[in-house]
């Protein structure tokens, strides 16, 4: 099981900084995680009996509890881009209250980087929501760079991206309630 955990953590390394991961064990797993053979030796030396009970009195028992949604419906925006040898495409999906979807897709007619395309598509979606006079918005993307720069957790250093970043900050001032959230690729 520990070998599988090490392998999964390596495969999902880009997602782990954004989620709390708790490992509960009677042994010191960190001692063995760096040495795979150590894990096998430990498991062989300390077999778990079928009658071993699991202590369900965890300190963070509410960890899986989801917060209740507010009564007021919130508008959501998901955005993504695609840059490849055939062109540059961007897309936004605005989700209106009561699950009404409004997709927007465009092709960018100038060469750009992935990061510039991500900022372009975020701006496209924000401009659309401002046009619809939306005042409360949750924005989701799988672009770690864009989200964490907009959350001011990472600095924007790329000179091509700085004007986009500043413009998005201006657009955000049009909202009464606003949030940027990272979402994994498979949910975007």
Size (the chain), residues: 188
Q: How far apart are the first and last CA of the chain?
A: 30
Cα–Cα distance, 10 to 5 (Å, whole number): 9
For the full predicted model, state whether its pTM sits above 0.75. Answer: no
Per-residue pLDDT for 87 more than 80? no
Cα–Cα distance, 171 to 174 (Å, whole number): 6
pLDDT, tens digit, 9 for 90 and up, residues 135-180: 999 999 888 888 888 888 888 888 888 999 999 999 999 999 989 8
| Domains in the chain with CATH codes | 2-50 (no CATH), 75-187 (3.30.420.10)
- Return the closest-CA partner of residue 73 out of 98, 100, 93: 98
């Amino acid at each position: 099981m520990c070998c599988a955990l090490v392998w999964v953590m390596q495969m999902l390394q880009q997602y782990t900084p954004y989620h709390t991961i708790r490992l509960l064990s009677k042994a010191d797993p960190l001692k063995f995680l760096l040495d795979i053979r150590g894990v096998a030796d430990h498991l062989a030396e300390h077999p778990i009996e079928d009658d071993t009970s699991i202590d369900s009195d965890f300190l963070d028992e509410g960890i899986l509890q989801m917060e209740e949604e507010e009564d007021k419906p919130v508008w959501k925006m998901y955005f993504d881009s695609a840059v490849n040898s055939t062109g540059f495409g961007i897309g936004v999906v605005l989700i209106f209250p009561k699950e009404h979807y409004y997709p927007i897709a465009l092709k960018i007619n100038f060469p750009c980087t992935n990061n510039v395309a991500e900022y372009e598509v975020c701006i496209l979606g924000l401009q659309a929501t401002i046009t619809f006079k939306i005042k409360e918005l949750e924005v989701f993307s799988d672009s770690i760079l864009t989200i964490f720069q907009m959350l001011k957790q990472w600095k924007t250093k790329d000179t091509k991206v700085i004007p986009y970043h500043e413009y998005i900050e201006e657009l955000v001032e049009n909202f009464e309630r606003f949030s940027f959230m990272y979402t994994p690729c498979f949910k975007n």
